[in-house]
Amino acid sequence: MLKQHLQFKLSQKLSPQQIQLMKLIQLPTQAFEQRLKQELEENPALESGKAESETAEDAYDDVFDDTADSESINAEDINIDDYLSDDEIPDYRTQTSNYSADDDEKSVPYAAGVSFNQYLINQLNTVYLSDEEWAIAEFLVGSVDESGYIRRPLTDIMDDLAFTQNIYTDEATIEKVLKTVQELDPPGVAARSLDECLIIQLERKETTPSVELATSILKRSFDQFTKKHYKKLIAKHNITEEALKDAISEIEKLNPKPGGSYSGNNRIIEHVVPDFSIKIIDGELELNLNGRNAPELHVSKDYSNMLQGYKDAKEKSKSQKDTVLFIKQKLDAAKWFIDAIKQRQQTLFITMNSIMNYQREYFLTGDERKLRPMILKDIADQIHMDVSTVSRVANSKYVDTPYGTKLIKEFFSESMKNEQGEDVSTREIKKILETVIGEEEKKKPLTDDKLAKILKEKGYPIARRTVAKYREQLGIPVARLRKQI
């Protein structure tokens, strides 16, 4: 049996231009500069730099006073005057305090270098090894991860050497070569576990009673040490509390991730370029958009001249018409890109200005306890934009403040009620929690239950599990692991 029914469906689709604009808004300064460079390379109708002082409109007023005779091209009407009379110096390029050229801005260099593995290979070149040992050592170095560890069992490495390198050896030989690799810098590299990494570093140190005790603790009582069972350590090693404190001090000086200390590892260090700057001038906040986000762009006058030549021509050939269609496409793309840049700047500035005013007390004082609860919708409602637009600005942009460079999304936080029924920011609670833990007695650190009671006494009634969640978000370990002697 066939059934027939009518269904209405409402849907909204973004145009390709709107999607491109959203992508432009999301780009931070350095990525935006790369996108701008790409557009300039791909579209010859778009040019950077200052345009001539005489606008296209002034230049062609006399030529195109009478537009009635303008000829159309095939089925598509092209009003050439729309392109010839376009102002080549858009108003958004006018320099104000919000769109400064940032003349004193210094370019920030990138730091790069050889890979961490290559750094180790370079050191191997100074060590005498047989051909087989060299091949094994090179394979071991290739197995070192970015933290400086070899995480794979030697049996797996032995199998891989046989299958991929045609090297048939045994675990004892690999272990022997591994000891040689572990003598490379940085100390602790190529260890298979944290305790082995720390022990290797201690063995490189000058021998003292504290170093010897620290080594003994790591070799004999590593599990008890990680769990901070200090009384058991004192009894097992028959030592004083002071001796244990000195040994722990030696261990705390060691690097648990030797690979991370090498600046020339596989990552390129990219410095953050703030998209905004906030200054306090005469007690008032002043917001500036980084001048690198406000490029000077204009439509190519050469392309406009091509259209003028077509309009002046008495006879218009098919090839000329095809050329004008091509020029139209490039000019349309250039005009759209300039408008998109303008809209991007306005969106960035309006959004950040709203955030700055919303968090005015924080930006004036730098006191994180004065950060108001703020979610994306709060700002979106103020500036009458979509939440997704605010999210694109907040998630990828940085602002230079008197208190350092901050990621904008850090100013957003949920709210909760205090005992007075007032909305307070969860960031404020985390700051107080961090302060309480920082001031606790280190021999008897506060449990999450005790922290919850202290916060309640301060007017923030939150559950123990919430305290635990905030503590974890702050990267603070549980009380047992915060214990010191």
The average confidence (pLDDT) of the chain is: 76
What is the reported pLDDT for 277? 92
Highest mean pLDDT among 49-63, 377-391, 402-416, 420-434: 377-391
pTM: 0.50
Report, as an integer, the average pLDDT of 420-445.
76
| Confidence label for 414 from pLDDT (cuts 50, 70 and 90) | low
Give the residue with greater pLDDT, 415 vs 236: 236
What is the reported pLDDT for 312? 64
Report, as an integer, the average pLDDT of 141-147.
84
Model confidence over 271-282: pLDDT tens digits? 678 899 999 999
Alpha-carbon distance of 68 to 75, in angstroms, equals 18
Answer whether residue 309 shows pLDDT above 80: no
Tokens of 263: 């600046």
Report, as an integer, the average pLDDT of 365-384.
86
Give the residue with greater pLDDT, 160 vs 286: 286
- Residue from 325, 335, 247 nearest 78 by CA: 325
| Confidence label for 327 from pLDDT (cuts 50, 70 and 90) | confident
Task: Please state the three-class secondary structure of 91-140 as a single string.
Answer: HHHCCCCCCCCCCCCCCCCCECCCCHHHHHHHHHCCCCCCHHHHHHHHHH
What is the reported pLDDT for 383? 92
Report, as an integer, the average pLDDT of 46-51.
73
Inter-CA distances, 190 with 147, 174, 263, Å: 9, 12, 17
Inter-CA distances, 60 with 64, 85, 321, Å: 6, 7, 21
Report, as an integer, the average pLDDT of 43-51.
76
| Confidence label for 132 from pLDDT (cuts 50, 70 and 90) | confident
Residue labelled with tokens 């005992």: 419
How many C-beta atoms surround the C-beta of residue 284 within 10 A? 9
Give the residue with greater pLDDT, 63 vs 17: 17
Percent of the chain with pLDDT over 70: 76
Answer whether residue 392 shows pLDDT above 50: yes
What is the reported pLDDT for 350? 94
Model confidence over 35-45: pLDDT tens digits? 888 888 888 88
What is the reported pLDDT for 1? 53
Q: Taking a C-beta distance cutoff of 8 angstroms, is the pair 120, 350 a contact?
A: no
What is the reported pLDDT for 2? 56
Alpha-carbon distance of 285 to 361, in angstroms, equals 10
Between helices 318-358 and 376-383, what is the axis angle to 10°?
120
Highest mean pLDDT among 194-203, 288-297, 307-316, 409-418: 194-203
